[in-house]
Structure 1
Amino acid sequence: MTITSAARAAIDLPADAVYIGGEWIVPDDEPRLDVINPATEERIGSVTDCSAETAAKATAAARRAFDDWSRTSAGQRAAHLDALADAFEQHGDQLAALAAREIGMPLREARAVQVDLPTRVLRSTADLARAYRWDGRDASGSSIVREPSGVVLAITPWNFPVHQIVAKLAPALAAGCTVVVKPAELTPLNALFVAALCGEAGIPAGVVNIVTGRGATTGEALVQSGDYDVVSFTGSLTIGRHIGAVAGGRIVRATLELGGKSPAVLLDDADLDTAVRTTVKNCFVNAGQKCNAPTRLIVPEELRAVAVNIAAAAADAYVLGDPLDEATTMGPLASHAQRDKVLGYLDGARRDGRVVTGGLADEHERGYFVRPAIVTDLPETAPVVREEIFGPVLVVLGHRGEDDAVRIANDTEYGLSAEVWSGDPARAAALARRVRAGQVRVNGVRTPSLPVSPFGGYKMSGLGREMGAFALEEYLEVKAILGDPELT
């Protein structure tokens, strides 16, 4: 693998290598995949498209390391997580710059969600491991023991690669599991940077292994191998169905986070200007490439025209450009294919309704740029209303009262996230309880500074939860020991 000088300033990564058993290994005679900067369309590196044999070496290394790692104390594992957090802080500037170039995310966003948030997740998970009740007794007097499940296969997406790796890695390591990570082929350099940080933090050999490659090759080989005890996947509904089916056939636990079509519901007593502008901002983080983006703005019908104008003005204020330029507020989409997909949805929106603003950013001769779009006057059955687009597209819909707003919000196959706005806190709280989603944000509240609130979805948004104690329990087995004497 080749990598930018910004990353080399902090971490020396060998070319075309993967991280297995605590060592950098360069697979022989295996294809290479180019890594492209989506803002410039230039090659910034390459990685190996690992074979089934190389993938098997990673799972074997994780299996060998499991016995020793699972027997370490919770305090020892927590200390390793804190050391990894220290490494994130030490190399945060380089990691953020690499993320900005590889994903196209503006540097300020990259620092917040690819460095600061993962660091907080590592530290909060370390604290949880120290405080967690690993052993206890139930009402019958039996001992209830929580033990690590084994080897975890973590398959992570391209949109928030570092955060998604850490969201799986931190609780798995805290639980006493070992891990094989297969990052998305669009953004693998961040994952290898994390591997180097794991080595710097002193995490024992084989506890964390990272192999690169395409989902159809390396990912499929790992999933089909069955040589794991838990699979945790974040990505598309189609691939999630497949992984869930394979895991189910092997009676292996699967946690699946599969996306969303999240609503932002505004009631008639909400501060319209604040709510609309905040929804636009939340929707367009990472150019809208965010599974919990509030992509459906549901406002009182009599206020829809005003809301559309506010949203359009907010969208038009974005500055598209080089993610490393501090003046840039929106970068490109992650790939040519993703840009074409978003533009196709906008073509459909023009046929079905009205695109108020946004579309192809033809002022940029290079890069996969799309100007943020506001669309309205659409039937509720339109694809742009119902399907996850994963781009900077906000749909504005009108509701005719609170019950109608809840109906529209829940009229989706997804249920990952939602937002509600009301000038009456009690009314907002009651509305939040009627929305079928795994996480509901009230009046603009974002991820807390202590990132322990569970994240995951209802319906087709997946199975299982990330963050906090709920995440830890995804990687634990529960054992009842009947007649167990009191230990002294």
Structure 2
Amino acid sequence: MENTRKFYVDGEWVDPIGTDTVDVVNPATEQAIATIASGDEKDVDRAVMAARRAFDSYGSTTRSDRIALLSRIIEVYERRVDDLASTITQEMGAPTGLATTAQAPSGLVHLTAALDALRGFEFEEQIGTTTVVHEPVGVCAFITPWNWPVNQIAAKVAPALAAGCTMVLKPSEIAPLNAIVFAEILHEAGVPAGVFNLVHGDGPTVGAALSMHPDVDMVSFTGSTRAGVEVARNAAQTVKRVTQELGGKSANIVLDDADFEEVITRDVLGVVVNSGQSCNAGSRILVPSDRMDDAVAIARAAAGSIVVGPPEAEGTTVGPLVSQTQFDKVRRLIQTGIDEGGTLVAGGVGRPAGLSTGYYVQPTVFADVTNDMTIAREEIFGPVMMLIAYEDEADAIRIANDTNYGLSGMVSSSDPQRARNVARQLRTGMVHLNGAPLAFDAPFGGYKQSGNGREFGRFGLMEYLEAKTIFGDNEN
């Protein structure tokens, strides 16, 4: 791949100012597949200044201008989607099927959703004699993760472009190669110089410099709650806007009238998608105490059907975790679950049979878990789930809400109205009823320590706009 040792600044691929580099490791082979440049404060300053200059013109573009630009980006993206998929498989281990049907196409969905939102958004409204004008917030800094890499890039870049903002992106240094392809797509589509800029590097250096930079008007961060706290602390020095999509420990309430065979099988398989590396995974599966034995048997069978293996191998449904660090963390938490008294229903600390190389972890199910155990409190970010017993509906809601997080949740019942009633009592930003999928034109985000702000569609667009009130603008 070209441009791995360069940054994209002011419409060109440029050499870094510093000399630091980072190896990109294929988690299936544990071998380096590329080396990227790693930036510093001077690289950040150069990119931010380019974005600041570009905002003078791009911030004044018309809706029609931005519709045309997004349409061109979509056209080029469609031609490069296979390149993105193969890159994501190599750098973060997503199975080929997942990369080609979900990971890479997700960016296209965000671009389309932003385009639709732009077409229908009212940038001016009248309130009596007052005019309210929605204007772009300015220069944005984007710090994105490795788990759904191009999904999170596009979820920020697309609405920011639609709003008229300019930006600097720092993707995860663990899975940065897809961001290079994304930058190539924007360049080919004719994004004006300086509107989009890309600087690689780590959080403590490039991420902190972006968060603190006085010429950055907004930071949008996706990642761990711990890192999100640091971003907010750094950004507070210049009182810039901060939006955050952070961790989760989502509860999945299986009500007593649900079809247990269907629901628990579906949801065990759902947790392990992307090797369990999804912030909204429903890893706390809540079941009636008198149905626990049934739930254990079904979960054990479902876990046993999962095929863990090399991402490119036919039939693989779960690939490796993304890194040695993640591999060590997940196995440590599995051992903690055992040590604290959880009953191992499936999986465990050891690698899956036949896989001695690569960051592979067995899909793991615990039973007899109480909500005060470490594995029920901490976000594991791996293919690990726990069965937690509840006594009645009120107890299920109490357990579900007993967490520092509030990103997502799930409720399953044969009675749709009953499921709706429970959903409305969950303190969480999203709830899936009876396995309903995400909708990319509806808001994505959480309560409590899962962050603030919303992404996707019209709600994502609004995060990149300021409201200017002009009094007396409509007097007769």
Give the TM-score range, shorter chain.
over 0.9
- Report the equivalent of 1:378: 369
The answer on whether the counterparts of 2:113 and 2:456 sit within 8 Å (CA) in structure 1 is no
Letter in 1 for 2:302: A
- Report the equivalent of 2:20: 31
- Report the equivalent of 2:408: 417
1:108 aligns with 2:136: no
Letter in 1 for 2:422: L
- Report the equivalent of 1:98: 87
- Report the equivalent of 2:473: 484
Deviations 1:294-328 (A, max 9, x none): 01000111111211221121112111112122311
- Report the equivalent of 1:361: 351
Distance change (3 Å), C-alpha of 1:224 and 1:166: same
Deviations 1:434-475 (A, max 9, x none): 111100000000023xx1110100111001000111111111
The answer on whether the counterparts of 1:113 and 1:163 sit within 8 Å (CA) in structure 2 is no
Which residues in structure 2 correspond to 1:138-157 (within 5 Å)?
138=127, 140-157=128-145
1:299 aligns with 2:290: no
Which residues in structure 2 correspond to 1:453-464 (within 5 Å)?
453-464=442-453
- Report the equivalent of 2:274: 286
1:200 aligns with 2:191: no
Distance change (3 Å), C-alpha of 1:430 and 1:345: same
- Report the equivalent of 1:6: none
| Bigger shift: residues 21-30 or 193-202 | 21-30
The answer on whether the counterparts of 1:79 and 1:126 sit within 8 Å (CA) in structure 2 is no
Q: Distance in 1 between matches of 2:15 and 2:299?
A: 50
The answer on whether the counterparts of 2:23 and 2:36 sit within 8 Å (CA) in structure 1 is yes
In the TM superposition, what is the alpha-carbon distance from 1:280 to its structure 2 partner?
A: 1.0
Instruction: Specify the SS of the correspondent of 1:454.
Output: coil
The answer on whether the counterparts of 2:85 and 2:96 sit within 8 Å (CA) in structure 1 is yes
Of residues 56, 60, 79 in structure 2, which corresponds to 1:71?
Answer: 60
Which residues in structure 2 correspond to 1:467-482 (within 5 Å)?
467-482=456-471
Letter in 2 for 1:330: V
In the TM superposition, what is the alpha-carbon distance from 1:114 to its structure 2 partner?
A: 2.5
Normalised to the residue count of structure 2, the TM-score between the two structures is 0.97
The answer on whether the counterparts of 2:4 and 2:180 sit within 8 Å (CA) in structure 1 is no
- Counting aligned pairs with the same residue, the percent is 44
1:62 aligns with 2:46: no
Instruction: Specify the SS of the correspondent of 1:439.
Output: coil
Letter in 1 for 2:10: G
Equivalent pairs counted in the alignment come to 473
RMSD value, Cα = 1.3
Deviations 1:319-348 (A, max 9, x none): 111212231110000001101100011111
Instruction: Specify the SS of the correspondent of 1:377.
Output: strand
Distance change (3 Å), C-alpha of 1:276 and 1:245: same
Deviations 1:6-45 (A, max 9, x none): xxxxxxx334111111100122551110000000011111
- Report the equivalent of 1:47: 36
The answer on whether the counterparts of 1:157 and 1:235 sit within 8 Å (CA) in structure 2 is yes
Q: Distance in 2 between matches of 1:220 and 1:376?
A: 41
Instruction: Specify the SS of the correspondent of 1:125.
Output: helix
Instruction: Specify the SS of the correspondent of 2:135.
Output: strand
The answer on whether the counterparts of 2:129 and 2:474 sit within 8 Å (CA) in structure 1 is no
Instruction: Specify the SS of the correspondent of 1:371.
Output: coil
1:387 aligns with 2:375: no
Q: Distance in 2 between matches of 1:337 and 1:317?
A: 27
Which residues in structure 2 correspond to 1:302-341 (within 5 Å)?
302-341=290-329
In the TM superposition, what is the alpha-carbon distance from 1:226 to its structure 2 partner?
A: 2.9
- Report the equivalent of 1:405: 396
In the TM superposition, what is the alpha-carbon distance from 1:112 to its structure 2 partner?
A: 2.7
In the TM superposition, what is the alpha-carbon distance from 1:379 to its structure 2 partner?
A: 2.6
Letter in 2 for 1:355: L
- Report the equivalent of 2:239: 251
Letter in 2 for 1:157: P
- Report the equivalent of 1:270: 258
After TM superposition, the runs of 4+ consecutive aligned structure 1 residues lying more than 6 A away are none
1:209 aligns with 2:200: no
- Report the equivalent of 1:80: 69
The answer on whether the counterparts of 1:262 and 1:296 sit within 8 Å (CA) in structure 2 is yes
Q: Distance in 2 between matches of 1:224 and 1:71?
A: 26
Letter in 1 for 2:351: A
In the TM superposition, what is the alpha-carbon distance from 1:227 to its structure 2 partner?
A: 2.3
Q: Unaligned 5+ residue runs, structure 1?
A: 4-12
Q: Distance in 2 between matches of 1:336 and 1:462?
A: 27
Letter in 2 for 1:474: E
Letter in 1 for 2:125: G
Instruction: Specify the SS of the correspondent of 2:251.
Output: strand
Q: Distance in 2 between matches of 1:435 and 1:314?
A: 27
Q: Distance in 1 between matches of 2:245 and 2:271?
A: 18
| Bigger shift: residues 78-87 or 404-413 | 78-87
Of residues 170, 174, 177 in structure 2, which corresponds to 1:189?
Answer: 177
Letter in 1 for 2:471: L
Q: Distance in 2 between matches of 1:455 and 1:28?
A: 37
Q: Unaligned 5+ residue runs, structure 2?
A: none
Deviations 1:71-127 (A, max 9, x none): 111121122112212222111112101111111011111123322221121012112
In the TM superposition, what is the alpha-carbon distance from 1:279 to its structure 2 partner?
A: 1.1
- Report the equivalent of 2:425: 434
Q: Distance in 1 between matches of 2:380 and 2:182?
A: 29
1:232 aligns with 2:223: no
1:180 aligns with 2:185: no
Instruction: Specify the SS of the correspondent of 1:91.
Output: helix
Which residues in structure 2 correspond to 1:339-350 (within 5 Å)?
339-350=327-338
Instruction: Specify the SS of the correspondent of 1:380.
Output: coil
Q: Distance in 2 between matches of 1:453 and 1:42?
A: 39
Letter in 1 for 2:40: S
Q: Distance in 2 between matches of 1:441 and 1:70?
A: 37
| Bigger shift: residues 428-437 or 476-485 | 476-485
Q: Distance in 1 between matches of 2:432 and 2:147?
A: 21
Q: Distance in 2 between matches of 1:22 and 1:83?
A: 16
Instruction: Specify the SS of the correspondent of 2:29.
Output: coil
